[in-house]
Structure 1
Amino acid sequence: MTPAHGCRALAFITGASSGIGQALALRYVAAGWRVALVARRQAELTAWATAQGWPAGRWQVYGADVAVIDAIVAAGQACIAAQGVPDVVIANAGISVGMDTAERDDIDVMARTFAVNNTGMAATFHPFVEPMRRRGSGTLVGIASVAAIRGLPGHGAYCASKAGVVSYCESLRGELRGSGVRVVIIGPGYIDTPLTRQNRYAMPFLMPAEVFADRAYRAIERGVSYRVIPWQMAVVARLLRVLPNALFDRLLAGRPRKARQHPHPERRRRP
């Protein structure tokens, strides 16, 4: 990708304080890019970035909760003012919490999940759409998940939100067609991060975060519209998509569910 205006290219990455976000930040800096890193834990992210020993001028940290629309929009505007319009914007920030619709607290969990994973993504892109369109170049990247393919018991909020990421990004891609601005959807499978280490079920084809970041970087550079990483999970996802409902439901019977944020120990969890 050619850096805009003859300067070093810039990547804006949310959720950069851990996991996939940090791995992507490391990959982009290794490739010679400047980075704008966003997280709620600004001090922690600043300390981590400082410890990397990156040259001055190569990175900047912005504090924002992507679920707060004005906060993430302000972070994007601050990035434009301080570093210029990014060449790539990666809406990576996301949460994954199990839920039980019978529990009132979990409806709030679902609302928070959508606020981060869906509205937060649109708010992340918002400050950059018009500047990129005027420039005639740029890439907006939505981080989805193979969980977008089918609904998994106990994962209703997360699966629905990630399916929404795919549909939203497809809509945005159509809206920006012909503008020079690309929209890329990356669907991670199971990636070894602090988030997935809390899972209580088998995670096939588990991939180190740095390997995922390298493959995602190359897919974004090529401007693919949609890519599942690793490829083995793409095959599994296609098979699950065409599986008859009765067989799909039987296959998932008894599968451990993602941990809830507000468990009630007095209530026995269904299998």
Structure 2
Amino acid sequence: MTRIVITGATGAIGQALAAVYARPGNRLILHGRQRDVLETLADNCRDAGAEVELSQVELGQAEPGQFEQGQFKQNKDDALFAWLESLCAPSVPDIVIVNAGMNINIGEDGSGERWEDASRLLEINLRVPMAMGNFLGKRMRAAGRGQLVLMSSLAAYHGLPVTPSYSASKAGVKAYGEALRGWLAPYGVGVSVVMPGYVSSKMCHEMPGPKPFLWQPERAAKVIARGIERNRARISFPFPLNFGCWWLAVLPAAISQRLLNWLGYDPDHGDGAH
């Protein structure tokens, strides 16, 4: 029985990934915040032949003001680590896809992000994936098997002016995942960093800026699953957007920033990646 954990399973990509892996011989552990969506998804996956377990454990999202007060709610860490420990019994999961995430932007008037929102975003987008990677990486290393899949974004190559905190969090996930892969590869543990472009979802469509080469989540999930099967270090799409974003990281920053403004990502444009 192959055990596959998916956090953020109630999001567009999470649901599509669950559908890809929903087949006989797979046991899915689906985590999400929307109970009704989670239960419907579980029923569909069971109909496809998979065994399904659901979780709504608090992953550790910070409350407004938490960071300003210098407080970290230890009970949230305890709940997360207790859940991760349960996932490792009797053995580590075969695949863990850390997909939960959120996005914010500088606002329609370009006035900037609220620090409370940015703190909450960094907690769920970066601190939680690092906590999961740290905890599960050690146990997978000891077991000599398993694969971690971290969800970054093409926005990790060069920060978008309209979504600075999101871009920073995804750049952090990219760097962390790459480092984990180097550490864990000699022990038979795979790590893949997923870097999607624009995938149709509520979060995507709420973000400002143009959305070139928009993919449907079903297409993205199939590409991600193929990359996971091959233990690819980086799963980025779609071409040519991924190639263009890579160049933004290679070119001098001043040129990249001018290109982004020219393409419509400047703060003065009304109307982000993943």
TM range (shorter): 0.7 to 0.9
Instruction: Select the residue among 171, 190, 194 that pairs with 1:186.
Output: 194
Does structure 1 retain, via aligned residues, the 8 Å contact 2:16–2:217?
Answer: yes
Q: After alignment, is 124-133 or 206-215 more displaced? A: 124-133
Give the direction of change, closer, same or farther, for the CA distance of 1:157–1:55 in structure 2 (3 Å limit).
Answer: same
Give the structure 2 partner of residue 37 of structure 1.
Answer: 30
Q: Which residue of 2 aligns with 1:96?
A: 103
In structure 2, what residue type is equivalent to 1:18? G
In the alignment of these two chains, the number of paired residues is: 251
Q: Confirm or deny that 1:27 pairs with 2:25.
A: no
Following the alignment from structure 1 to structure 2, what is the Cα–Cα distance between the partners of residues 102 and 18? Answer: 28
* Distance change >3 Å, CA 55–CA 23, structure 1 → 2: closer
Task: Tell whether the 8 Å contact from 1:99 to 1:110 is kept in structure 2 after alignment.
Answer: no
> Which of 34, 40, 52 is residue 47 of structure 1 equivalent to?
40
Q: Which runs of 5+ in 1 are unaligned?
A: 1-7, 258-268
Partners of 2:202 and 2:168 lie apart in 1 by 22
Percent identity reads 32
C-alpha displacement of 1:197 = 1.7
Pick the aligned partner of 1:107 from 110, 115, 132: 115
2:47 counterpart of 1:17: no
1:39 touches 1:65 (CA, 8 Å); kept in 2?
Answer: no
The change in CA–CA distance for 1:239 and 1:55 in structure 2 (over 3 A counts) is: closer
Distance 1:196 1:18, change over 3 A: same
Give the distance between the partners of 1:33 and 1:56, measured in 2 at CA.
Answer: 8
TM-score scaled to structure 1, two decimals? Answer: 0.83
Distance in 2, Cα, partners of 1:92 & 1:64: 15
Please show how residues 193-204 of structure 1 align to structure 2 within 5 Å.
Answer: 193-204=201-212
Deviations 1:39-91, CA, capped at 9 Å, x for gaps: 2234541233125543787110011232343333232223334x752100111
| Structure 2: tracts of 5 or more residues without a match | 61-75, 270-274
What TM-score do the two structures reach when normalised by structure 2? 0.82
**Cα separation, partners in 2 of 1:58 and 1:65, compared to 1, 3 Å:** same
Residue in structure 1 matching 2:166, options 151, 158, 161: 158
- CA-atom RMSD, angstroms? 2.5
SS in 1 for 2:205: helix
The DSSP-based 3-state class of the residue aligned with 1:140 is: strand
